[in-house]
Amino acid sequence: MRHDYKNFSTQEINSPGKFRPEKAHLLLITAIAVGLTIGFSLMPNQAGANKKDTITEKQSNIESSLQPAKTQRIIESLSLPDEPQVNSLQLPLTRSADSAEDTSLNWKTVKVKSGDTMAQIFSRLGISASVLHQVINTDKSARKLANIRPGQNIRFQLDEQGALHQLVYQYDIANSLQIKKNSSGFDAETLTKSLDKRIAHSSANITHSLFLAGQSAGLSDNMTMHLANIFGWDIDFALDMRKGDHFTVIYEEIFLDDKKIRDGNILAAEFHNRGKTYRAIRYEDKNGQARYYSPDGMSMRKAFLRSPVEFSRISSRFSLGRKHPILNKIRAHKGVDYAASRGTPIKATGDGKIVFKGNKGGYGKTIIIKHGSAYSTLYAHMRSYNKRSRIGSRVKQGQVIGYIGSTGLATGPHLHFEFRVNGVHRNPLTVRLPKASPLPKKYRADFKTKAKSLVTQLDLIKTNTLASLQ
Ligand SMILES: [Zn+2]
């Protein structure tokens, strides 16, 4: 059970068509670092040969959204109040000429400082504590004022005597609390700005890494991770990426005042990996539960994850600037090795029960999980176990059971992973996983209708976009 990476890696890396992530990875880390600093939403929109199109269409009218050139803005909710308008950048308000408001009243913007409370702010403005008490007790929504955070702005409108007439507290990007004086006390109202949901699509060929491909296609790293999670039951993103793999994703972007504020959901996606094409369609049932299904209504989730280690964690290995990557598949033995830095979490690939935990010769610290009667998985060379991992305890798919190390006979930190069916070792990368559970019957007809238009879009995008990428 000894793994000599050095010999294997040379061979693996030089095999034709094999994904070579080492150089890409330095770039990726830089990109992530930049992303963390400036926010993922500011990732470059277009680069290289990959392509992103934004189609702004009403979601319910998705079939008509296949002309990327056409743009049409939709308003999801029409709850934007006339008055006052709160600028999303929290700049002082620009009042419109036809404002009915009494302009003899002054507006004052207070920026919340670290450690500030409403009581302190009121006192600085010379407003009495009894008024604050009244304001806070206006309505349940007014309790938001107890959660003010440094850097936020609160706008106060005071009369000539300095008495409070109105205050507006924008507590998130789209919502503000407005407290307004009336004849007897104060009224509270929540003002909500309308968000646009626009549909966009991107396609990319993978030449270095999934993240780089995602970035060049204008996807945020979060979105790329989400995409990988959707297909994580079928594709092992840690080991199985190949040059020439490609994907298409149809997703929502959320806009406020014509500015993108965040990503929405992935509505549909296609991933082509090692000659196989996988498609996923998002479906939200009547209870608001959203899941991804193949176009024939089978769940994308399966009883087992392809990989017990998150691919991004493995990839980060390459950022250390090692001479040769040790991420490689070793076919000569009855398992798969995942090289990653010491301490990387190891996930149970399926629901089950821990039947073994302890030192097991060359395997070092090992956990064996039994999944029903036919399947078992083994995780070896762990540095340490998760506190919750005990013999006999139940684990859920994705639950962290331990951490990567090099106990036993291992030349470096890695996870040795085995998958057994009826006691026989199978290749975890290729074994047929138990069938996915289908969409409940009562949703089938609805799903079929919705899936059809998304599948049509995927087909069209594929024809139009990917052809131009060749
Ligand atoms: Zn191994």
Distance from the CA of 337 to the center of ligand 1, in angstroms?
A: 5
Tell me the average pLDDT across 307-316: 72
The encoded tokens of residue 386 equal 């998760």
In the reported structure, the alpha carbon of residue 340 is separated from the centroid of ligand 1 by a whole-number distance in angstroms of 13
User: How far is the centre of ligand 1, averaged over its atoms, from the C-alpha of 309 (Å)?
Assistant: 14
In the beta sheet, which residues pair with residue 189?
178
The CA 362 to ligand 1 mean position distance, Å, reads 10
Residue 347's nearest CA partner among 389, 375, 409, 410 is: 389
The b-or-e profile of 219-233 (16+ CB within 10 A means b, else e) is bbbebbbbbbbbbbb
| Residue 417, burial from CB neighbour count under 10 angstroms (0-12, 13-18, 19+) | buried
d(CA 188, CA 140): 9
Ligand 1: distance of its center to the CA of 416 in Å? 4
- How close is the Cα of 242 to the center of ligand 1, in Å? 22
**306 CA distance to ligand 1 centroid (A)?**
16
Determine the distance separating the centroid of ligand 1 and the alpha carbon of 6, expressed in angstroms.
14
- pLDDT mean over 342-350: 95
Contact predicate 329/429, CB 8 Å: yes
Tell how far the Cα of 15 is from the centroid of ligand 1, in angstroms.
20
Q: Ligand 1 centre and the CA of 411: distance in Å?
A: 11
Distance 405 CA to ligand 1 centre (A): 13
User: Is residue 329 scored above 80 in pLDDT?
Assistant: no
Top mean pLDDT of 22-36, 47-61, 68-82, 165-179 is at 165-179
- The average pLDDT across 399-417 equals 93
Residue 101 has φ and ψ, to the nearest 5°, of -75, 150
Over range 252-281, report the average pLDDT.
Answer: 94
Give the strands of the sheet with 186-192, arranged side by side. 106-111, 153-158, 164-170, 175-181, 186-192
Burial of 78 (0-12, 13-18, 19+ CB in 10 A): exposed
The C-alpha atoms of residue 89 and residue 101 are separated, in whole angstroms, by 22
* Residue 14 scores a pLDDT above 80: no
Equal CATH topology for 52-68+196-300+442-470 and 106-192 = yes
Q: Is the pLDDT of residue 201 over 50?
A: yes
- Indicate the Cα dihedral angle 100, 103, 104, 105, nearest 10°: 90
- Read off the pLDDT of residues 80-115 as tens digits, 9 standing for 90 and up: 233 333 333 333 333 333 334 455 678 999 999 999
Per-residue pLDDT for 327 more than 70?
no
CA distances 465 to 53, 250, 267, 271, 377, Å, are 10, 13, 18, 14, 41
Work out the average pLDDT over 261-267: 94
Q: What angle do CA 146, 148, 152 make, to 5 degrees?
A: 160
Cα separation, 363 vs 379, in Å, equals 9
Q: How confident is the model at residue 457 (pLDDT cuts 50, 70, 90)?
A: very high
User: In CATH terms, is domain 52-68+196-300+442-470 a member of 3.10.450.350?
Assistant: yes
CA of 381 to the centre of ligand 1 (A): 9
> Higher-confidence residue: 217 or 105?
217
Q: Average the pLDDT over 151-169 and give the result.
A: 92
Cα separation, 54 vs 65, in Å, equals 10
pLDDT tens-place string over residues 376-404: 999 999 999 999 999 999 999 999 999 99
Give the span between the Cα atoms of 246 and 469, in whole angstroms: 11
Ligand 1 centre and the CA of 26: distance in Å?
27
pLDDT for the residue 118 = 92
CA of 322 to the centre of ligand 1 (A): 21
Domain ranges of the chain: 1-38+303-435, 52-68+196-300+442-470, 106-192
Q: What is the pLDDT of residue 58?
A: 38
Are 346 and 389 in contact by the 8 Å Cβ rule? The answer is no
pLDDT greater than 80 at residue 210: yes
Rounded to the nearest angstrom, the distance between the alpha carbon of 126 and the centre of ligand 1 is: 70
Looking at residue 355, its pLDDT comes to 97
Amino acid residing at 101: E
Q: Which residues touch 459 (CB under 8 Å, ≥6 apart)?
A: none
pLDDT, position 240: 80
Residue type at position 265: N
Confidence grade of residue 414 (pLDDT, cut at 50, 70, 90): very high
| DSSP string over 319-362 | GG--SS------TTSSSEEEE--TT-EEE-SSSEEEEEEEE-GG
| Measured distance CA(18)–CA(33) in Å, rounded | 27
Q: pLDDT (tens digit, 9 = 90+) per residue, 111-150?
A: 999 999 999 999 999 999 999 999 998 888 998 998 999 9
pLDDT higher than threshold 70 for residue 169: yes
Distance in Å, CA 28 to ligand 1 centroid: 27
What is the Cβ-side half-sphere exposure of residue 36, based on CA atoms within 13 angstroms? 5
Confirm if 227 and 278 have CB atoms less than 8 A apart.
no
**HSE (side-chain half, CA atoms, 13 Å) at 271:** 28
Centre of ligand 1 from the C-alpha of residue 339, in Å: 10
CA of 254 to the centre of ligand 1 (A): 45
Residue 312 pLDDT more than 70? no
State the pLDDT at residue 104.
60
Average pLDDT, the chain: 77
Ligand 1 centroid – CA 3 distance (Å): 6
pLDDT of residue 336: 86
CA of 336 to the centre of ligand 1 (A): 5
Q: For residue 166, what are its two tokens?
A: 């109105």
Q: For residue 356, how far is its CA from the centre of ligand 1 (angstroms)?
A: 18
- 368 confidence band (pLDDT: 50, 70, 90): very high
- Topology classification of domain 106-192: Nuclear Transport Factor 2; Chain: A, (3.10.450)
- For residue 222, report the distance from its CA to the centre of ligand 1, in Å: 31
- The more confidently predicted of residues 248 and 54 is 248
Alpha-carbon 269 to chain mean position: 14
Ligand 1 centroid from CA 417, angstroms: 7
Q: Which whole number is the average pLDDT over 177-199?
A: 92
Candidate from 215-219, 350-354, 436-440 with smallest mean pLDDT: 436-440
CA of 333 to the centre of ligand 1 (A): 6
Cα 164 to Cα 194: distance, rounded to the nearest angstrom: 28
Q: What is 1-38+303-435's CATH superfamily?
A: Glucose Permease (Domain IIA) (2.70.70.10)
pTM score of the predicted model: 0.63
Please tell me the distance between residue 375's alpha carbon and the centre of ligand 1 in angstroms. 19
Residue 325 banded pLDDT, cuts 50, 70, 90 = very low
Cβ neighbours, 10 Å, residue 328:
22
Which of the four pLDDT bands, split at 50, 70 and 90, describes residue 53?
low
pLDDT at 77: 27
- Mean per-residue pLDDT, 34-47: 35
Q: Would you say residue 326 has pLDDT above 60?
A: no
Closest CA to 251 of 243, 242, 260: 260
CA distance linking residue 278 with residue 270, whole number of Å = 6
At 465, list the tokens: 């976009």
Q: Residues 438-459, buried b or exposed e (16+ Cβ, 10 A)?
A: ebeeebeeebeebbebbeebbe
The DSSP string of 155-174 is: EEEE-TT--EEEEEEE-SSS
pLDDT digits 0-9 by tens, 1-11: 434 333 323 22
The order of strands in the sheet holding 290-293 is 51-55, 196-205, 246-256, 259-273, 276-284, 290-293
342 Cα: distance to centroid of ligand 1 (angstroms): 16
